[in-house]
Amino acid sequence: MQGHEGEMYKKLKIGTDIGKLKILPLNGGKLYPSRYAGGGIEFPLPTDESSHRVELETWEDDYSYYFNKALRHHIRRSSVWERGSGTSYVRHPGLHCDEAGWVNIMEFLHHGWLFDHENVRLEDDGYIAPEFREERVNTMIKTMWSEFQKKNKVRIRFLCIVLD
């Protein structure tokens, strides 16, 4: 399986030689630069004394559903139809990705359908200031870790450059 995943990495033209590519650990990590999407978030690993179970708020659980749906069903489509307010359907642009399904994280964080959805957070108007990006990235990491703890499922993979 390692070899097969390695093939995917090679397909990405990242245009840098500053570090190697790595999948973000499920419990999170330190991200850089902080002005890009915050400093990251790390949840404690389980110990003999405590499972350190992370529970999601209702709105975070909603986010998780939309993250999952976008990465599975919106990728490589020019447009998608999703339910808007009431019973009407609204057309949204799809998500670009490479042949293995990797989506540029900045495009994902700007994917309007995900974060403008009225059922997620009314106060989030989709404006992408750094603090919004930080919250969104941290929410993605939190949902990934919580769902793994609860269901043994990994629904999001983050591809990162190791800065060392």
Partner 1 sequence: MGVGDDIHRLIAQNREVFLAPIAVRSPSGYSARGDDFRLDYDKICHPITTKLADEFHFCCHMTEIKNVNGIIKKGLRPGGHKGGRAQVFLNPYAPWDEHYKAILGGALILSHLGQARIVLAFSVHRLIGLGVMFNASCQRGTFRSLK
Binding site for partner 1 (CB under 8 A): 1, 3-4, 7-8, 11-12, 14, 18-19, 22, 24, 29-33, 36-37, 40, 68, 71-73, 75-77, 97-105, 108, 137, 140, 151-164
Which residue, 52 or 150, is less far from partner 1 as judged by CB?
Answer: 150
Residue 68 exposure: Cα atoms within 13 Å on the Cβ side: 12
β-pairing, 79-83 vs 89-93, is antiparallel
Which residue, 54 or 71, is less far from partner 1 as judged by CB?
Answer: 71
CB 148 → partner 1: shortest distance, Å?
9
Helix (H) or strand (E) holding 66, with range, is helix 58-69
Which residue, 48 or 99, is less far from partner 1 as judged by CB?
Answer: 99
CB 140 → partner 1: shortest distance, Å?
7
Question: Which residue from 37, 41, 6, 11 is spatially nearest to 23, judged by alpha carbons?
Answer: 6
For residue 9, give both structure tokens.
Answer: 């990495």
